[in-house]
């Protein structure tokens, strides 16, 4: 899943308070990650902030290589 449909799926999941997006065909849940701006590694979500009704308003990912923390906008999140 890439492009506009991926961004829409990420936004929908965050609004629902989820960090995964299920594949309708297989049922597999795709986890979100950010790309580290320093080394390009896939940085898994480390922390979230929630707003009204449990919606996720901020996502912080942590790079496993360099340890940098990245606050990622929905457009910067990808699905495994």
What pLDDT is attached to residue 52? 82
Alpha helices, DSSP H, located in 1-80? 4-15
Q: Would you say residue 2 has pLDDT above 60?
A: no
Average pLDDT, integer, range 43-72: 96
Global pTM reads 0.88
Q: Which residue has the higher pLDDT, 57 or 2?
A: 57
* Angle CA 34–58–55, to nearest 5: 115
pLDDT digits (tens, 9 = 90+) for 11-56: 999 999 999 999 989 999 999 999 999 999 999 999 999 998 999 9
pLDDT at 68 over 90: yes
């Amino acid at each position: 899943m890439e492009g506009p449909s991926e961004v829409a799926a990420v936004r929908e999941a965050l609004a629902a308070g989820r960090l995964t997006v299920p594949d309708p065909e297989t049922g597999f849940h795709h986890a979100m990650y950010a790309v580290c701006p320093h080394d390009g590694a896939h940085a898994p979500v480390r922390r979230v902030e929630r707003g009204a009704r449990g919606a996720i308003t901020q996502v912080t990912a942590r790079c496993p290589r360099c340890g940098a923390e990245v606050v990622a906008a929905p457009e910067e999140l990808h699905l495994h």
